[in-house]
Amino acid sequence: MKVVLDLGHRVIGIEGCKAGIEAFFNENNISYEIEKDENNQCEIYKGIECSVTIYSADVFTFNKSLPSVDYIWDRGGLVAINPSTREQYRDCLLRMMTPDQTRLFLVAINYNDPDFSGPPYVVNDDDVNHLFGSTCSSELVEVRDNTEEYRSRETARQINYIEERLHLIVRKQI
């Protein structure tokens, strides 16, 4: 998100974990203020010197009207969601997407570890196609092998492989 801000774009986020929001602002040395929304449904974190607004809210119950967005970056959202609620999460994303305009960059994780069931949960290409294929076009943009990086962590499990798969998803005109 910082790269997008540095390019002069406005960033709007929805995050369920306040610690994650505060870490983003602090790690990027962005001063911020916190406001309550008019219905006290969430806290709103706003950058003071840059155009970033992050709502501390549950994406499933978030009902604020947002301006039209050009890009959505989902890194850690879908893979953290229990597989039984993936379609509900997908519907939340689709509501934010303008057909043929909004680009959703979705980072999916694929790994082989029979002793670990998540989160993060495996989201493979078939899962992405199942979730978005009927309403969106989808293109696999990049595959990044994170196996060695993951194995180098002290607490890492010994897995055969773990990779991030970046998908570009665009909602079709109906």
Q: pLDDT, tens digit, for every residue of 104-118?
A: 999 999 998 877 788
Q: Cβ atoms within 10 A of the Cβ of 161, count? A: 14
- pLDDT score recorded for residue 154: 60
pLDDT digits 0-9 by tens, 126-155 = 999 999 999 999 999 999 999 888 878 766
In the CATH scheme, what is the code of domain 67-174?
3.40.50.150
Write down the domain spans for the chain: 1-58, 67-174
CB count within 10 Å of CB 117 equals 9
Nearest CA-CA partner of 6 in 33, 32, 30: 30
* pTM of the predicted protein model: 0.85
**Half-sphere exposure in the Cβ direction for 55 (13 Å, CA):** 18
